[in-house]
Structure 1
Amino acid sequence: MTAMDRFLNSKLVDQYGAALAPSFDFVNTAAGAELDVPREPLAVSAAVQKLVADEGHTLAGMSDDQLGIAVITKKTLMSWENATGIVITPSPQGSHVQVFMENMPGRPKALMDGKKNKKMAQKLAEKIKAAV
């Protein structure tokens, strides 16, 4: 773990970072992306789980059938953690993947969060497509 990662994951940042950052509670930070991939749903789920681990995110939970995945993205210099949901459903082409992203509850919001989260959801969808 790099020094920057240790700092970003420190108790200091968790305790005081939100108090120092402005918060725009009226901002809708929800965003999403969708894609179709030519693989069976369980194979897509396995690829998503590996991608989450490789990217350093936290796997927060999973449905019993492994087709609903909850992820907490890691903190970066430019953003707090994001709550991310990934839903995989069977489709005639193989699998349909939906990615939902929103700021973590209790974290400050910024005016550009909705746009940033949309871009992050699309990038995650592209990474999932490449991983599959």
Structure 2
Amino acid sequence: MSRLDKFLNSTFIDQYGAALAPSFDFVDTSAGAEIDVPRDPQSVSSAVQKLCADLGHAVAGTSEDQLEIAVITKKTLMSWENATGIVITPTPQGSHVAVFMQNMPGRPKALLDGKKNKKMAQKLADQIKAAV
């Protein structure tokens, strides 16, 4: 683990991070992206869970059928964790994957979070497409 990762995951950041960053509670930070992939939903779910583990994100939970996945993205130098929902639905051609991102509750917000979260959701969707 790099020094930066140790710092970002430290109790100092968890305790004082909100006080160090500006907060704009009026900003809606929800964002999403959608893709279609030519694989069955169960194999897509397995690929998504493996990708999340490889990227260092935490899988917070899954539905019984493994087609709804809750993920918490890891902290980086430029962003806090994001609450991420991934929903996989079967289609005649394979699967439809929807990725939704929003700031974690209790984390600081900024004016450009909505745009950044949408970009991050699209990046994760593209990574899922490549992994499948």
The TM-score, its normalising length taken from structure 2, stands at: 0.99
The equivalent residue for 1:31 is: 31
In the alignment, what sits opposite 2:16? 16
| Distance of 1:60 and 1:5 partners within structure 2 | 20
Runs of 4+ in 1 over 4 A off after TM superposition: none
Aligned residue number for residue 71 of structure 1? 71
Instruction: Tell me what 1:49 maps to.
Output: 49
Q: For residue 85 of structure 1, give the secondary structure of its aligned residue in structure 2.
A: strand
Structure 1: any 5+ residue segments left out of the alignment? none
Percent identity, please: 80
Cα distance in 2 for residues equivalent to 1:80 and 1:74: 7
Q: Distance in 1 between matches of 2:36 and 2:28?
A: 26
CA distance in 1, matches of 2:61, 2:18: 25
Residue 20 of structure 1 deviates from its aligned partner by 1.2
What are the Cα deviations for residues 83-122 of structure 1, in whole angstroms up to 9, with x where unaligned?
A: 0000000001100000000000000100000000000000
- The aligned runs of 1:86-97 (5 Å cut-off) are 86-97=86-97
Q: List per-residue Cα deviations over 1:43-76 (Å, max 9, x = no partner).
A: 0000000000000000100000000000000000
Aligned residue type for 1:8:
L
Gaps of 5+ in 2: none
Q: TM-score, normalised by structure 1?
A: 0.99
Which whole-Å CA distance do the structure 2 matches of 1:100 and 1:67 have between them? 14
